[in-house]
Structure 1
Amino acid sequence: MTHATPRSTVLTPLVLASLVTVYLVWGSTYYAIKVAIETLPPLGMLGVRFLVAGALLMLVLRLRGAALPSARGWGASALVGALLLGGGTGLVTLAEREASSSVAAMLIAVSPLFAALFARLWGERSAGHEWLGIGVGLLGVILLNVSELRATPLAALLLFLAPLCWTLGSQWSRHLPLPPGLMGSAAEMLTGGGLLLLAGAAMGERWQPPSGPSLWALAYLTVFGSLLAYSAYMYLVAHTRPALATSYAYVNPVVAVLLGVGLGGETLGLGGWLALGVILAGVGLVVWPRAAQTPASEPAA
């Protein structure tokens, strides 16, 4: 039986650094994805992104003496990679063909609610102020959708399914025999990237000469979105409570909207800015340190 790693209730410097990384970097990746898929096939682009990032990370780890994953480790990594990178990031990227980067980030903000619900499957509980923060954050998302939603029904469905896959994979990963440390992230990116390339080929995606901006966006997504932010996120999943690990989903829309408006020519009305303020209030409640846990609220083995 795989035992879950005890989750810290303290905002240590490493936890704070990881939070800032996923808040800012992943908030910017929505716009970067939009630029990348202007001339690159969505799933193929992601496959290249994660394969390159995973190979580079694994090479560095091997040079530092880290052991390769076992067969069980590769299998668990493939499952997590399929859910997080294939179902999570893959569906978002497909949706961005018909939705703005701002809207994509807004709808992903339901992740903390899914995370709290999935965590209960493994006996974990969220504190009262976390549920309140989730509720306030979702209220902000509803306001955003009412005032700013500009996406086709298919894109909206994909953006609903994406966080469902992502949070299920995140919570499940803590109970699977994944390779230790960053080797787990490398294996997940390699297997997930391979699955995305196969899915793109099965869908008949075609490659054409990419533009310069698309190539720069792909490089940014590979280095910062995958190597840096994905590793930081998996650290948060392993060492913090679900609501805190997924609180990026409330901050990312702020960053995505600012970039979409400032660089991508997207627009946001008064109702949208008001909703962003409500979302940030929800984040504040989610990240507020909880009281010391009793034994009954510890993760189940």
Structure 2
Amino acid sequence: MDTSALPSTASPRLPTWLPLLAAFFALYVIWGSTYLVIRLGVVHWPPLLMAGLRFLVAGLLMLGWLRWRGAPWPTLRETVAAGVIGILLLGFGNGGVTLAEHWGVTSGVAALSIATVPLFTLLFGLCWGQRNTGLEWAGIALGLLGIALLNLGETMSATPLGAAVILLAAAAWAFGSIWSRYLPLPKGAMASAVEMLVAGAGLLLVSWFSGERLQHWPALGGWLALGYLVVFGSLIAFSAYLYLLGRVRPAAATSYAYVNPVVAVLLGTLFAGERIGLAELLAMLVIVGAVVLIAVPQWRRH
């Protein structure tokens, strides 16, 4: 019997570019939108409590999924290393962003401040013997000018404590990112699961001892914000980041650093009535330009 005329039962294959497109969308738009969602969420939740719940729930979900897939438990040494990195990246990093937005820093300015992470990364890299190129030094100098311009703006000058906390958050994320390369972290996504669990538990402890308490049960908007941060911000977007790291050049995977601020500013303006002044606009152009300068040598190496 001639079967050549029969319809094929094989499932159609997706174009190879489609998963990449979806991953970049998650990295640019979803991560960029989390700054606005954090600002909406802290209206209903105490900031550290919300951040702690976000990472604890996301960590438990990821750990459960990994164990169901047969991933081994990390060793004690790996757990301690991942816990330290989790405290730096998620505790000080994301926790600091949440606090800063609670204290009045707008979502767009918060994202713009976190865009300075590549600048701090290059500076901290010097502690481990990393040598920077001329373009990278130019990017650092331009980025420091951008930070100065940013602090002249109305948002940051009106909330000096928030400005200090969010720059500390960027520095902590950068330091943890560099240090993580030299620590015995668990393999694959298990490192992320442990980092989120430890950071979530740590943030909840700090929340309790700092006196944060729920004054009333959060409204539906608060639960939706928390759910969005858990599912989209901490699971989908981070998984997309890991996916891209394994398939594209590092400079492409980390390009979110100069796309997220633009997305956050646009969303904050459209949906939260945020306004960005001339100083902040100039700072955004300068900082984005600085990060592009820093990325150029990475593109050349890879």
Q: Which band: TM-score by shorter chain?
A: 0.7 to 0.9
**Matches of 1:119 and 1:125, distance apart in 2:** 8
Unaligned stretches of 5+ residues in structure 2 = 1-16
Shift of 1:152: 1.6
Q: How many residues align?
A: 282
**Matches of 1:274 and 1:165, distance apart in 2:** 25
SS across alignment from 1:96? helix
2:146 aligned with 1:130: no
2:261 aligned with 1:256: no
* Residues 84-93 or 249-258, more deviating: 249-258
Q: 1:271 to 1:195 in 2, by over 3 A?
A: closer
**Matches of 1:132 and 1:264, distance apart in 2:** 35
The match for 1:219 among 219, 227, 252 is: 227
User: Which residue of structure 2 lines up, in the alignment, with residue 57 of structure 1?
Assistant: 62
Identity across aligned pairs (percent)?
51
Contact 1:47/1:197 (8 A) holds in 2:
yes
**Which whole-Å deviations, capped at 9, do the CAs of 1:241-289 have from their partners, x for residues lacking one?**
9987765343322111111111000112455444433443334333335
Q: Please tell me the residue identity of whatever aligns with 1:102.
A: G
Length-normalised TM-score, structure 2: 0.81
SS across alignment from 1:124? coil
Contact 2:241/2:253 (8 A) holds in 1:
yes
User: Which residue of structure 2 lines up, in the alignment, with residue 45 of structure 1?
Assistant: 50
**Matches of 1:172 and 1:15, distance apart in 2:** 28
**Matches of 1:140 and 1:58, distance apart in 2:** 39
User: Which residue of structure 1 lines up, in the alignment, with residue 284 of structure 2?
Assistant: 276
**Matches of 2:54 and 2:131, distance apart in 1:** 35
Shift of 1:189: 0.5
Unaligned stretches of 5+ residues in structure 1 = 1-11, 294-301
**Which whole-Å deviations, capped at 9, do the CAs of 1:154-174 have from their partners, x for residues lacking one?**
111111211121111111111
Q: Please tell me the residue identity of whatever aligns with 1:213.
A: G
Contact 2:88/2:176 (8 A) holds in 1:
yes
Q: Please tell me the residue identity of whatever aligns with 1:116.
A: L
2:197 aligned with 1:190: yes
Moved over 4 A (4+): 12-20, 231-247
Shift of 1:183: 0.6
Larger Rg: 2
**Matches of 1:237 and 1:126, distance apart in 2:** 22
User: Which residue of structure 1 lines up, in the alignment, with residue 3 of structure 2?
Assistant: none
**Which whole-Å deviations, capped at 9, do the CAs of 1:52-81 have from their partners, x for residues lacking one?**
111111111111111011111111111111
Contact 1:251/1:279 (8 A) holds in 2:
no
User: Which residue of structure 2 lines up, in the alignment, with residue 173 of structure 1?
Assistant: 180
Contact 2:118/2:294 (8 A) holds in 1:
no
Shift of 1:228: 2.5
User: Which residue of structure 2 lines up, in the alignment, with residue 118 of structure 1?
Assistant: 124
* Residues 112-121 or 189-198, more deviating: 112-121
**Which whole-Å deviations, capped at 9, do the CAs of 1:205-246 have from their partners, x for residues lacking one?**
112311212211111111121113334556788999998776
**Matches of 2:151 and 2:88, distance apart in 1:** 25
Q: Please tell me the residue identity of whatever aligns with 2:125.
A: A
The match for 2:81 among 62, 76, 86 is: 76
Q: 1:112 to 1:24 in 2, by over 3 A?
A: same
RMSD of aligned Cα (Å)? 3.0
